[in-house]
Structure 1
Amino acid sequence: MLKIIQTPVRFYPFIGGVEKYVYYISKELAKYDDCEVKVICANEPDTIDHEIYNGINIRRLKYYGKVANTNVTLSLPKVLYNEDFDIIHTHVPTPWSSDWSNIISRIKNKPLVVTYHNDIIGTGVANYIAKFYNSTTLILLLNKADKIIITQDDYINSPHLQNYKEKVTTIPNGVDTNIFKPIDSPRKNNQIFFLSVLDKFHKYKGLDYLLESLVEVKKIIPDVKLVVGGKGELLNFYKSKTEELGLKDNVEFKGFLTDEEVIKCYQESELFVLPSISSLQEGFGIVVLEALACETPVISTTIVGVSDDVIDTESGIIIDPKNVEMLEKAIIKILSDKELIKNMGKKGRELVKEKYEWKKISEDIHELYEELL
């Protein structure tokens, strides 16, 4: 029996790209007869400390505040040390959980797999902390890693991976097309969907630019409607900005959405937009795959992991980051052509089914584990 421990900083029901990645690969790996999967993470949002969900053994630990968006779980070292495991799979950018995974795997002489989702950066004081971490502890982590997974080929260009190219392999993110799928009912006319945590750390998702673009879009499409899913400390900031831009009637903030509500928003909307602005922080953009699987056209930026495939399959429009004018034109082009919406949607789902099913992704990861052992 292959005993796997995953150590994301947070896990389901927390919503985020890394959390979704760990959830879906763990769920698929748990279906294998030879795999036991355990996730050890911080208890955020506060829920059951210990449960088995979709075959995944989940242990959530009390945390004592956060440093650089990373929950500090003081019991993690002891808990990890007392676990019986064959392999630890940890994730960057999450110091603490990844660093203790490194230390415990060294002590117990077990293989360590690191998925490098994106670089660790910060602003202000956090930037100095990030630089110090990257020049010290991150090096120790990557030195020990037996394999480093990146989710898009471009990430090999990260300055922090230059000395480890022989260990790096690309395995993309995925989506479950049995869950994320279109429905027969008509979509809501001129509705756009955006989904992200609304906090300072996730400002790189580009909601500011999307709101600014709607000012011009509204002149051409007066009833354009943006549905924003997600909550966080910047929710009131974005609501105020919406009012300042004269968009109060055109933007609806839904707050936290359940899995079912997220899927419904993808299915009902004519367009999904993820205008990410930072290649250092945007690891892949799983939400783009989810939208495509629901036959919803997408607009995103060149830094998102699936951008080349979106261009090749004509399943959406890819623009430059921070380019509000390009974003305006792309939104108007898609929403003004209902036939284009249908065609882009069908091409998007075909792309996902062909290349980005979680089942295929988990097979690649399972094979990687077996090679290491």
Structure 2
Amino acid sequence: MLTRPLKILAAIEGYLPEIVGGSNNYLQQMAVYFGSEGHRITILTPTYSDKLAEYESDGNIEIIRYKISFKQHNILRYLIRSGAEKTYDKFLYNRYFDVISLHSPHIGAGIKNSFSKKFIPFVYHYQSPHHEEEEILKRSISYSIFNPKKYLKYLWSPYSIREMRRTERECVEYADLVIVLSQWMKSKLSYIHNIPESRISIVPGSVDTKRFYPPENKYEVRKELGLPTNRPVILTVRRLVPRMGIDILIQSIRRVADKFNDICLVIGGEGYLMNELKSLVNKLGLNNNVYFQGFIKNELLHKYYQASDLFVLPTTELEGFGLVTLEALAAGTPVIGTNAGATPEILNKIDPELVVPAGDSVAMSDRIIRFFASSWWQKQIQQNCRLTIQRNYSRDLILNRLMFLYSRIAEPWELVNINNSAENTYKFANLNNKT
């Protein structure tokens, strides 16, 4: 295993603050931690904005952005891929990197083409099967011939899905190591792309326990956020898209409200289903029980966890891990989640009864009712929430494991670079002169 600082090139299709999401937060956590340990991280990403600088540097982290102005869906993928190749050739060709870290398929394919003749190990972070996400989205959206733009997208979608799957396979087959967040995702990756499990490592998500922690006084936090202090509060934070199951959760709250009429569900997040979900709330007579908070700013997120009695993760499909589950548990807030994906791998460590069948609003409502009806069960779960995180998912524990994998995979490749006379650029004598 290498003990010297590593130089890592990370590539992702959109980065903070422009794009907010699980993979972006994951890369940011990784970059900050690796940088604090002395490693140098270069992040390559496309941007769709004129407001963000093409180059930023902060300590051991630098960000290089290349502009994409055309957002048409399928051409966008080509521009992401070709833009990555051109930007690498222009700015990074003479730079030495110990490891290439890929976090998205199309930019990953572009980087792969640029580095195909160099002796540098590739690590691919496989957080979700993107083509399946697109299939789910296709099933959930109605298209009409009277809307030509949407109808053409509908006709093109089978080809688009196949292209996404092909690009994803291109990356994972080329990678020397594929990192997934859960056993569920490892099995899915192996099944979809026929990748040997020996090339796949599980490194679960992590949470900063110094930022996400139980409050001294939950009700003071509620006052600060403008939430009711005298009612039971349930929280969910999700994109408002079909596979997140927010409609199932709202339906379950209808039954819960019959038992606890003062129940309060706070929904954080945005998405194209917002109006449809608000109509469902109105139809079920839950206007006094369900509140849409919209996008919750990152600096306030931990307070919403602290203010809540229960967090519910109602996902119906493809929950590759669930970082929000860790964040809620770290704040001492119990979580009820579905069996759609990797959620049971987390919640079973606390109590298997916290897991309910995906898409079953009755089972979900029954479990929520049981939670609020049994103070003994509440207390038992609350005692194990943060302890489970500290033992299994604390940031330092997980990211140190990830850093070990990066150092280990870089070592044999450095020996190849030293001994390969055809690649003088990578001889050991020149390594320290590279920036």
TM-score normalised by the chain length of structure 1: 0.89
Which residue in the other structure is 2:45 paired with? 41
Contact 1:271/1:335 (<8 A) preserved: no
Contact 1:270/1:341 (<8 A) preserved: no
Residue deviations 1:111-144 (CA, integer Å, cap 9, x gap): 110111121212344354223432x333321221
Evaluate the alpha carbon distance shift between residue 221 and residue 131 of structure 1 in structure 2; reply closer, same or farther with a 3 A threshold. same
Which residue in the other structure is 1:260 paired with? 299
Which residue in the other structure is 1:171 paired with? 203
Which residue in the other structure is 1:75 paired with? 83
Which residue in the other structure is 2:107 paired with? 97
CA drift of 1:53 comes to 5.5
Equivalent residue letter for 1:102: K
1:212 aligned to which of 251, 254, 258: 251
CA drift of 1:66 comes to 5.7
Evaluate the alpha carbon distance shift between residue 167 and residue 322 of structure 1 in structure 2; reply closer, same or farther with a 3 A threshold. same
SS at match of 1:4: strand
Which residue in the other structure is 1:347 paired with? 384
Evaluate the alpha carbon distance shift between residue 46 and residue 336 of structure 1 in structure 2; reply closer, same or farther with a 3 A threshold. farther
| 2:314 is aligned with 1:308 | no
SS at match of 2:355: strand
| 2:36 is aligned with 1:31 | yes
Q: Which has the higher strand share?
A: 1
Evaluate the alpha carbon distance shift between residue 132 and residue 46 of structure 1 in structure 2; reply closer, same or farther with a 3 A threshold. same
- Name the CA distance, whole Å, in 1 between partners of 2:324 and 2:208: 12
- Name the CA distance, whole Å, in 2 between partners of 1:205 and 1:276: 4
- Name the CA distance, whole Å, in 2 between partners of 1:238 and 1:70: 30
Q: Provide structure 2 residue ranges, at least 5 long, that are not aligned to the other structure.
A: 139-153, 220-228, 411-435
Which residue in the other structure is 1:139 paired with? 169
CA drift of 1:8 comes to 2.1
Contact 2:46/2:65 (<8 A) preserved: yes
2:100 aligned to which of 61, 84, 88: 88
Evaluate the alpha carbon distance shift between residue 54 and residue 261 of structure 1 in structure 2; reply closer, same or farther with a 3 A threshold. farther
How many positions carry a matched residue from both structures?
A: 364
SS at match of 2:320: coil
Residue deviations 1:136-174 (CA, integer Å, cap 9, x gap): 333321221010011111223222243332211111111
CA drift of 1:191 comes to 0.7
Which residue in the other structure is 1:194 paired with? 236
Which residue in the other structure is 2:149 paired with? none
- Name the CA distance, whole Å, in 2 between partners of 1:206 and 1:68: 27
CA drift of 1:79 comes to 1.8
CA drift of 1:262 comes to 1.1
CA drift of 1:248 comes to 1.5
Evaluate the alpha carbon distance shift between residue 42 and residue 194 of structure 1 in structure 2; reply closer, same or farther with a 3 A threshold. farther
Q: Give runs of aligned pairs for residues 1-373 of structure 1, distance below 5 A.
A: 1-13=5-17, 14-33=19-38, 35-43=39-47, 48-49=52-53, 50-52=55-57, 56-63=61-68, 64-65=70-71, 67=73, 72-73=79-80, 75-81=83-89, 82-83=91-92, 84=95, 85-91=97-103, 94-120=104-130, 121=132, 122-123=134-135, 124=138, 125=154, 126-134=157-165, 136-158=166-188, 159-187=191-219, 188=229, 189-198=231-240, 202-278=241-317, 281-314=318-351, 317-373=354-410
SS at match of 1:313: coil
- Name the CA distance, whole Å, in 2 between partners of 1:296 and 1:316: 16
Residue deviations 1:313-341 (CA, integer Å, cap 9, x gap): 22871111111111001111112334533
Which residue in the other structure is 2:150 paired with? none
Of 16-25 and 312-321, deviating more is 312-321
CA drift of 1:234 comes to 2.5
SS at match of 1:341: helix
Contact 1:315/1:348 (<8 A) preserved: no
Question: Larger Rg: 1 or 2?
Answer: 2
Contact 1:193/1:228 (<8 A) preserved: yes
Q: Provide structure 1 residue ranges, at least 5 long, that are not aligned to the other structure.
A: none
Q: Which has the higher helix share?
A: 2
- Name the CA distance, whole Å, in 2 between partners of 1:54 and 1:16: 24
- Name the CA distance, whole Å, in 2 between partners of 1:237 and 1:341: 33
Contact 1:4/1:87 (<8 A) preserved: yes
Percent identity between matched residues is 25
CA drift of 1:239 comes to 1.8
CA drift of 1:54 comes to 7.7
- Name the CA distance, whole Å, in 1 between partners of 2:111 and 2:375: 50
Contact 1:314/1:347 (<8 A) preserved: no
CA drift of 1:312 comes to 3.2
CA drift of 1:235 comes to 2.0
